[in-house]
Each structure stands twice: as structure tokens, then as C-alpha cells.
């Protein structure tokens, strides 16, 4: 089976028409690192880049050597963009601050103060499931309009599913513009009275139940909030629709991030389908933490067989070895082999000789494990490509250590840009 | 279990199971660490010995159904697995529930106000959605409330479930998720939901409940675990009990200490590999010995990096449990292996 085409990362980063790159995927696949690595690489290739992260864990801050990120883009120290005429900024979304700014920008100071002090608003702006996504989109729109950067790289919120990112903003918009919120706000509006008479029975029932559930105080908070927020309703849905359109625009490129594991690739697959049905421009799939072997010509089976020759597994039928008697112990396991090596290529004649290569046996077993892992990963990737044959793919090898500095990000960027499929 | 003691990691087993008396096990962890898998293994481990355990998920992902390879779970408790019987212990049963806030709210309305009928109409109008939307704490209190209800449920004079395992939201959200009474108090100062929240809180913040963290030995998940432990420790004054740290996907170390250090430095004796390969009858084609040495180096560096993470985890001062890496596709056999590992180490 043929694997998908290779994703040409540098071509994407260098193309001045690429204005927004959205990194999405399920949790724990390395979205933040990928976004940071792409941003750094683009900056060092001459783009003016801002990386927007929405992850509260300050992960980007850590990997970019910044102690804190607030709601303002800050230059990343040590990013060598100047040489190429580029620059790199990074920022972390403060969703409450962003929400407050919208309120302040769209109402007079008195009313804004009233809204900001409302307990219901405070809950909505800090913990509503979807506020984070909405505000990420809002911020993206703001950065795009500011036009100070020619490339924005966005790391999407760590939602339970990659799809939340697309749905949540509209959900918040729908909620704020919804009929129930209108129904509840009806008594506070002049024109609502007549409508209310019509609805009295239903209305009483609804408010009655809501009161039972959340308490009368909270219902009152909600109604006060709605009254104060009135002028801004409608605007919310509109804004959500605006950013949605921005995402569909030709300057936007989606990169779906995954790891070669069943759950992550299944999620990636859903997301790819969803982007297609929403006419969102998908640039490709990035698979992080891929395992390959530099000695791929030695198969797992042959490697295991060879390890067995050197160090029979106890109880495997070759007879148990008395390791101590053969001069092997943990202390001298590393020592040079002593005289008595078997003839090259020949099957070792006696156990006493073969047990002297424990390191090689271990190396062969580890190699076999890695070959099996690589094979499993390849099969998973192949089944992804079979379902999505035209999606370009870039692979990043698993790193023995975590990435937490710019050099680490640079080498990830280099791998991303290698432009050929591994294997 | 190993209790971290200074720099050396002591392996001790102070008693048969470390969480005696805990009936509600809350399992959290960063995305990608195998939280659902570990929750499933813990449920199986707890069920051993003829016990009945409920495994509950709260995020609407149908992760349990996938784990046990069963069709999507309805809002209802359904048996998904049996714990294997051993010569000394009879088997047990694991039930699963995919909890959903809407259904939980309707159940709550019915239980307290006999409002089932109205509830259906309210769902259509979006009231349930509205109520759980405007008060995120409400959503959480309904879900934790369901777990508490199952934990306390009685049937025929005895407790219906011996234990409940909750596959909880990820580490980033766990503090506010469990601190429902406080979260909701900002919203519903009085009212029935407040009373309900207080009841839920009293069970969660009692010795009957413990919060376990799942992590892998990588920097970010370990950081999130430490942050989560610190956050919950802040809530511990209120009685919240921190549980164990389940270290998932632990690989066996195949190298001696000397070999490990040499391999990590890249100073392994390649001659040793050369002769070893010859002895095994493999010719050194395309620099095979060098490639294997490179693989050993990566393996050793990974192992040393993991050790550093282990030391950081030790600082949390919670008991730790190692779960072996299952290299094959996770299936029931893999879950049983993890469950056995948890039992051997005293987690269940």
C-alpha cells in the first residue's frame, strides 16, 4: 500500500499568501510544540510571525524560554529571525481579559462596569465550556485585523475532542443569542409584555423549573446580565461567523497533528473529514513521535532469533544457562569478550561462549521491539492514508528527551521540513 | 507501590491494599497518558475477589466502550467485563456507565420534584442545556452527584457497588471539577441545587474518596501531575484525599547501570557489539553495529530522561505505581495485565 504524499512544510511557511496556520488535534499529541517549532522556523526564514497559544499550562512559555505569557504578544528572546529579516512573537490567551475587552469596547463605561461585576458574567467569562475557543477565535481575528504580523500560528485549546474547536464558538454565539435567553429577558423589555401574556403559562413553568435548579438569585443575575448585555447580543453570533469565514479564507492553512496511535489517528481522521465538509483549507497531517530504525534491513524476527542464539530465553528449550558459572554477572557484563569467540558466521557451539554477549543480545531485543513498533505505526499510518489518500503527511521522529528550548524547537522544525516520508 | 524516600526509591508494601476504605476512586491525568485505560484496569483490579465495581465516564467520549470493545454505552449501567478468578480469589464484575449531565439532571428533577414529564418538555426547549450551560459548576455537580449516588446506593441492606471508579476530566480541570460546592456557591447561593452540591461535596471530601493521577514519564505530563497535586493539596484542608500516582507505559530496563551510562554518553564499546553480532551469525552489513549502538544510545537517553521525571514525581510525596507498557493493541488481555500490576503493587 502506498503512503500519502509528503507535506512540504517550508513551501507552506515561505508562501507569503499563508497568513494563518491552525494546529489542531486531540490532547497530548504535541500541538503546542509543533506550533512553536513552525513559528520559529517561519521567523528564521524571514516571516514576521506571532504564535498564539491558548493552553493554560504555559507549555509554550516553557518551550520558548519565556517565564510568562500574557494577553499581549511578546518578542521571543533568542529567536534569530533578524538575520533573515523575520521576527517571532508569542502570546498566551487570557480568555477572561479578552471577553472583558469585548464588553468594554461595545458598551458605555457604566454599563460595562455593570456587566463585568455581574456574577453570571464572571462565571460565563471564566468557565463556560466554549468561551476559551470563542475567545481564541476572537483573538485570532484581532491579530489578523491588526495586520502587524504576516503569519499567525495558532495552537488550539486542549479540548476533549479536536472538533470542539470548530463548534464551540458557534455554540457560545447560539447560546447568547438563543431563544431561551430571549424568553427569560422578555419581562425586562418594553415590547416583551404582549408576547409574554401569550406565553405566561409556559414562561412561569420554565422560570419555575430554572429557579428550582439554579436558585432565584442566579436567575435574577442572569436576567440583569441579559438586560445589560442586550445591545451586544447578535453581535456575538456575527463575530463567531466572521472568524469562521476567516478560517475558510484562502490564506488559512489547517495542520492536523497526531501521533501514530489508534486514538490520535482516529481523531485526526474525524477532523480531516470535518474540515472537508466545512470547506476549511487543510494543508496536511503532521505525525509526531514516529519510531523508525536506522537498521531497518534487520527484521524483528531475525533480530530476535539472533538474540536467542546469543542468550537463550530461560525455559525456551535450549536449556537454562548458569550465568555465574559462565563468568557473567552484572558487574562484568560490559567487559570485553574473552577468548573463545565462535567462528565468524557459525552457530556458536557451546553456551559458555554465547552467554558472553549480553549487550549484543539486549541490543538485538531492543531493535526487534523497535522494528515491531515501527511496523505497527506504519500500518496505522497506511490505514489513515488509505482513507485519505491525497492528504500530505510530515513525520517527526520521537525524541529521546522533551523539547524545552529553542534549539530543540529548531531541530523539530528541521524534521518537519525534511519533505520526504520516513521509512 | 514505591514510596519515594530521599534519592533512593524504596519499594515497600506497607499493607495489602493502600486504599482500604476508599469507595470512590477518581482518576485524572493529562490527555494522552492513558487515563481511561488505567481507570478501566483499576476497576478490574478492584473487582477481583467477587466484588462489583462501577466504572463511570463523564466526558461523553465513549472511551469505555472503545476500551472494552463494546457498542456505545447508553445512559445506564451495563456489565462490560468480569475480573478473572484466581485459585485464591473468585472473579468479580465491572459495570460501566457513560454519564451525561442532561440525563442526570432529568433524573435529579424526577427524584426531587417528580418532574420527569416536564423535564422532557424542558429538554426540547433547551432549558436543560441552558441550565448546565450558564452554570458549568452545575454540570459538574450533576456528574459527580451521579458518582456519589452510585457510591452510596444500597440494595437489600448492603451497598450495591463495592467501589466506583470515575474516569474524570483531565488534570487541568480536576480542581474545579471536584470543588463543586465552592464553584456553585458563587452562582446558587441558596436553592435545592446548593443542598445537593453540599451532599456531593461531603462525600468527595471524605476518606471514602481518593483522587489518583495518571502520568507517563515525560516532562509535560509530569509537570501537570505536580501542578494538579499542588492544586488538590490546597483543597485537601477541606478533606479531599490525594490518591496514588499511576505511572503508565513504563518500559523494562534491559541494560546494566554501566551499560546504560556508557550508552547514553555514546561511549559504548562497539567492538563488543561487533563480536556479538558475529557470534550470532549476523554480518555487519550497512553498519549494523553502529546502528544498533545508536539505538542503544537513544534507549539509554530515554531511560535517563524518564528517571529524572521519576525523581520529580517523587517530590509530590504520593505513593507511585508502575504500569508496564503494553506494546500490542490495548485489549482485554492488556487490561488484565495492568490490573494485575496494580494489585501486585497494592493499589487495589
- Write out residues 94-153 of B within 8 Å (CB-CB) of A: 105, 109, 113, 115, 118, 122, 125-127, 130-131, 133-139
Alpha-carbon distance B336 to nearest alpha carbon in chain A (angstroms): 20
Same domain, yes or no, for A418 and A274?
A: yes
Q: Is residue A329 part of a domain?
A: yes
What span, in angstroms and rounded, lies between the C-alpha atoms of B105 and B113? 11
Q: Is residue A219 part of a domain?
A: no
Query: Tell me, what's the pLDDT at B126?
Result: 67
Q: How far apart are CA B1 and CA B323, in angstroms?
A: 10
Determine the pLDDT at residue A421. Answer: 63
Which of B118, B126, B273 is facing A359, going by the closest CB pair? B273
Q: What is the pLDDT of residue B85?
A: 81
The CATH number linked to A9 is: 3.40.50.300
Q: Are residues A149 and A51 in the same domain?
A: yes
Q: Which residues partner with A287 through β-bridges?
A: A258, A395
A171 inside domain: no
Residue A361 has pLDDT above 80, yes or no: yes
Residue B186: closest CA among A136, A244, A94, A121: A121
H or E segment and range at residue A167: helix A164-176
Q: Which of B219, B295, B329 sits opposite A404 (nearest CB)?
A: B219
pLDDT tens string A300-330 = 999 999 999 998 766 544 443 433 334 333 3
Lowest-confidence segment of A38-42, A399-403, B31-35, B186-190 by average pLDDT:
B186-190
- The Cα–Cα gap between B13 and B348 comes to 12
Which residue does chain B place closest to A372, by CA atoms? B327
User: CA of A87: how far to CAs of A83, A146, A253, B25, in Å?
Assistant: 9, 16, 20, 49
Q: Which residues have CB under 8 Å from A29's CB, separation 6+?
A: A257, A258, A259, A264, A288, B32
pLDDT value at position A30?
86
- Same domain (yes/no): A304, A394: no
- Is there a contact between A66 and A53 (Cβ–Cβ < 8 Å)? no
Range of the domain at A277: 1-106+130-165+244-294+374-423
**Where does a domain end: A370, A385, A401?**
A370
Partners of residue B188 in chain A, C-beta under 8 Å: 214-215, 217-218
Q: Which of A329, A353, A370 marks a domain boundary?
A: A370
The mean per-residue pLDDT over the stretch A267-278 comes to 90
Most confident of A170-179, A182-191, A290-299: A290-299
Domain end marker among A328, A350, A370: A370
Residues A375-394, mean pLDDT to the nearest whole number: 94
| Chain B residues closer than 8 Å to A333 by CB | 256, 258-259
B276-294 as b/e: b if 16+ CB within 10 A = bbbbbbbeeeeebbebbbb
> Which B residues, 245 through 284, put their C-beta within 8 Å of a C-beta on chain A?
254-259, 262, 268-269, 271-273, 275-283
Same domain flag for A366 and A379:
no
Other residues' Cβ atoms within 10 Å of the Cβ of residue A211: 16
What sign has the CA pseudo-torsion B222, B223, B226, B231?
Answer: negative
List pLDDT tens digits, range A142-169. 999 899 999 999 988 766 555 666 777 6
pLDDT grade for A349, boundaries at 50, 70 and 90 = very low
Q: What is the ipTM of this complex?
A: 0.82
Query: A6 forms bridges with which residues in the sheet?
Result: A393
- Residue A52: helix, strand or coil by DSSP? strand
Chain B: residue whose CA lies nearest to A342: B279
Give average pLDDT by consecutive 10-residue segment, chain B, 348 residues.
46 62 95 92 94 93 89 90 82 93 80 68 67 72 91 93 95 85 62 78 93 94 93 85 96 89 91 91 86 94 94 95 88 93 94
The structural domain count of chain A equals 2
What pLDDT was estimated at residue A326?
Answer: 40
* pLDDT (average), residues A389-393: 94
Q: Tell me: do A366 and A384 sit in the same domain.
A: no
Band of the pLDDT at A199, cuts 50, 70, 90?
low
The most confident of the ranges A60-64, A97-101, A239-243, B337-341 is B337-341
Decide which of 3.30.365.10, 3.40.1390.10, 3.40.50.300, 3.30.565.10 is the CATH code for B2-253+309-344: 3.40.50.300
Interface contact flag, B126 A367, Cβ < 8 Å: no
Residues 6+ apart with CB under 8 A from A128: A172, B133, B134, B136
Q: Is residue B158 less than 8 Å (CB to CB) from chain A? A: no
Side-chain-side CA neighbours of residue B279 (13 Å): 32
CA–CA separation, B283 vs A345, rounded Å? 7
Tell me whether residue A227 is in a domain.
no
Using CA atoms, how far apart are residues B271 and A16, in angstroms rounded to an integer? 52
Same domain, A307 and A421: no
Question: Which among A44, A53, A50 has a CA at the least distance from the CA of A14?
Answer: A44
Give contacts of B272 with chain A, Cβ < 8 Å: 334, 336-337, 357, 359-360
Query: Quick one: A50 and A135 in the same domain?
Result: yes
Angle, helices B288-314/A358-387, rounded to nearest 10 degrees: 90
CB-nearest partner of B135 from A178, A214, A345:
A214
Q: Which residues pair with B83 in a beta bridge?
A: B92
Compare CB distances from A158 to B31, B109, B131 and report the shortest one's residue.
B31
pTM summary value: 0.83
Would the pLDDT of A218 be above 80?
no
Is residue A360 within 8 Å of B276, Cβ to Cβ?
yes
- CB–CB of B74/B62 below 8 Å? no
Indicate the average pLDDT of chain A. Answer: 78
Say yes or no: A146 and A99 in one domain.
Answer: yes
Check A214 against B277: CB less than 8 A apart. Answer: no
Considering only CB atoms, B279 lies closest to which of A26, A57, A357, namely: A357
Min mean pLDDT across A179-188, A206-215, A333-342, B8-17 is at A333-342
Amino acid at each position: 500500500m502506498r503512503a500519502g504524499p509528503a507535506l512540504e512544510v517550508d513551501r507552506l511557511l515561505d508562501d507569503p499568501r499563508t497568513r494563518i496556520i491552525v494546529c489542531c488535534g486531540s490532547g497530548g499529541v504535541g500541538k503546542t510544540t509543533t506550533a512553536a517549532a513552525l513559528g520559529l522556523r517561519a521567523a528564521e526564514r524571514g516571516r514576521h510571525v506571532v504564535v498564539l497559544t491558548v493552553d493554560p499550562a504555559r507549555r509554550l512559555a516553557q518551550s520558548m524560554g519565556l517565564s510568562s505569557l500574557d494577553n499581549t504578544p511578546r518578542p521571543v528572546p533568542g529567536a534569530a529571525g533578524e538575520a533573515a529579516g523575520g521576527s517571532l512573537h508569542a502570546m498566551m490567551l487570557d480568555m477572561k481579559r479578552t471577553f472583558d475587552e469585548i464588553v468594554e469596547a461595545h458598551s458605555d463605561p457604566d454599563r460595562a462596569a455593570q456587566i463585568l461585576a455581574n456574577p453570571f458574567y464572571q462565571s460565563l467569562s471564566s468557565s463556560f465550556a466554549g468561551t476559551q475557543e470563542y475567545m481564541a477565535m476572537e483573538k485570532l481575528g484581532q491579530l489578523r485585523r491588526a495586520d502587524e504580523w504576516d503569519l499567525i500560528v495558532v495552537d488550539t485549546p486542549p479540548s476533549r475532542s479536536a472538533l470542539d474547536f470548530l463548534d464551540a464558538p458557534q455554540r457560545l454565539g447560539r447560546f447568547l443569542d438563543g431563544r431561551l435567553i430571549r424568553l427569560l429577558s422578555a419581562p425586562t423589555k418594553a415590547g416583551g409584555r404582549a408576547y409574554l401574556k401569550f406565553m405566561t403559562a409556559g414562561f412561569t413553568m420554565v422560570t419555575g423549573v430554572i429557579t428550582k435548579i439554579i436558585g432565584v438569585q442566579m436567575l435574577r443575575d442572569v436576567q440583569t446580565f441579559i438586560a445589560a448585555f442586550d445591545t451586544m447580543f447578535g453581535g456575538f453570533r456575527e463575530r463567531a461567523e466572521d472568524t469562521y469565514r476567516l478560517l475558510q479564507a484562502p490564506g488559512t492553512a489547517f495542520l492536523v497533528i497526531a501521533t501514530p496511535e489508534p486514538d490520535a489517528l482516529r481523531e485526526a481522521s474525524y477532523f480531516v473529514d470535518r474540515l472537508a465538509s466545512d470547506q476549511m483549507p487543510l494543508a496536511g497531517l503532521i505525525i509526531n513521535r514516529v519510531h523508525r530504525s536506522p537498521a531497518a534491513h534487520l527484521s524483528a524476527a531475525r533480530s530476535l532469533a539472533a538474540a536467542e542464539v546469543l542468550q537463550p530465553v530461560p525455559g525456551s528449550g535450549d536449556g537454562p544457562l548458569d550465568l555465574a558459572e559462565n563468568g557473567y554477572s552484572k558487574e562484568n557484563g560490559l567487559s570485553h569478550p574473552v577468548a573463545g569467540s565462535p567462528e565468524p558466521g557459525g552457530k556458536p557451539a557451546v553456551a559458555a561462549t554465547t552467554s558472553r554477549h549480553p549487550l549484543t543480545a539486549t541490543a538485538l531485543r531492543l531493535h526487534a521491539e523497535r522494528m515491531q513498533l515501527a511496523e505497527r505505526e506504519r500500518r496505522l499510518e497506511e490505514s489513515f492514508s488509505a482513507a485519505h489518500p491525497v492528504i500530505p503527511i510530515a513525520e517527526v521522529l520521537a525524541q529521546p528527551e522533551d523539547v524545552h528550548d529553542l534549539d530543540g524547537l529548531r531541530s523539530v522544525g528541521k524534521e518537519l521540513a525534511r519533505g520526504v516520508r520516513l521509512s | 507501590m514505591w514510596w519515594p524516600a530521599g534519592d533512593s526509591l524504596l519499594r515497600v508494601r506497607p499493607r495489602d491494599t493502600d486504599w482500604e476504605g476508599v469507595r470512590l476512586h477518581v482518576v485524572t491525568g493529562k490527555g494522552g497518558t492513558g487515563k481511561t485505560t488505567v481507570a478501566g484496569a483499576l476497576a478490574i483490579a478492584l473487582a477481583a475477589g467477587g466484588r462489583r465495581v462501577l466504572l463511570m465516564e463523564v466526558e461523553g467520549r465513549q472511551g469505555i466502550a472503545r476500551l472494552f470493545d463494546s457498542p456505545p454505552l447508553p445512559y445506564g449501567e451495563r456489565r462490560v467485563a468480569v475480573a478473572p478468578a484466581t485459585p485464591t480469589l473468585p472473579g468479580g464484575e465491572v459495570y460501566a456507565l457513560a454519564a451525561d449531565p442532561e440525563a442526570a439532571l432529568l433524573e435529579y428533577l424526577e427524584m426531587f420534584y417528580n418532574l420527569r414529564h416536564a423535564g422532557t418538555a424542558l429538554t426540547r426547549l433547551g432549558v436543560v442545556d441552558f441550565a448546565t450551560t450558564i452554570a458549568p459548576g452545575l454540570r459538574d455537580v450533576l456528574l459527580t452527584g451521579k458518582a456519589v449516588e452510585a457510591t452510596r446506593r444500597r440494595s437489600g441492606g448492603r451497598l450495591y457497588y463495592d467501589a466506583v471508579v470515575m474516569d474524570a476530566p483531565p488534570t487541568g480541570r480536576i480542581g474545579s471539577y471536584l470543588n463543586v460546592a465552592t464553584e456553585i456557591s458563587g452562582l446558587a447561593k441558596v436553592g435545592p441545587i446548593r443542598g445537593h452540591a453540599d451532599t456531593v461535596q461531603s462525600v468527595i471530601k471524605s476518606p471514602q474518596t481518593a483522587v489518583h493521577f495518571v502520568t507517563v514519564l515525560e516532562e509535560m505530563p509530569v509537570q501537570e501531575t505536580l501542578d494538579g497535586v499542588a492544586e488538590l493539596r490546597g483543597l485537601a484542608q477541606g478533606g479531599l484525599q490525594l490518591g496514588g500516582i499511576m505511572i503508565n507505559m513504563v518500559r523494562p530496563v534491559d541494560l546494566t547501570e554501566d551499560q546504560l551510562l556508557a550508552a547514553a554518553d555514546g561511549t559504548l564499546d562497539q567492538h563488543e557489539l561487533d563480536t556479538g553480532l558475529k557470534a550470532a551469525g549476523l554480518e555487519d552489513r550497512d553498519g549494523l553495529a553502529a546502528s544498533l549502538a545508536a539505538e542503544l544510545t537513544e534507549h539509554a537517553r530515554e531511560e535517563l530522561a524518564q528517571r529524572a521525571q521519576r525523581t520529580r514525581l517523587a517530590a509530590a510525596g504520593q505513593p507511585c505505581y508502575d504500569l508496564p507498557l503494553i506494546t500490542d493493541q490495548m485489549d482485554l488481555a492488556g487490561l488484565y495485565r495492568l490490573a494485575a500490576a496494580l494489585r501486585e503493587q497494592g493499589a487495589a
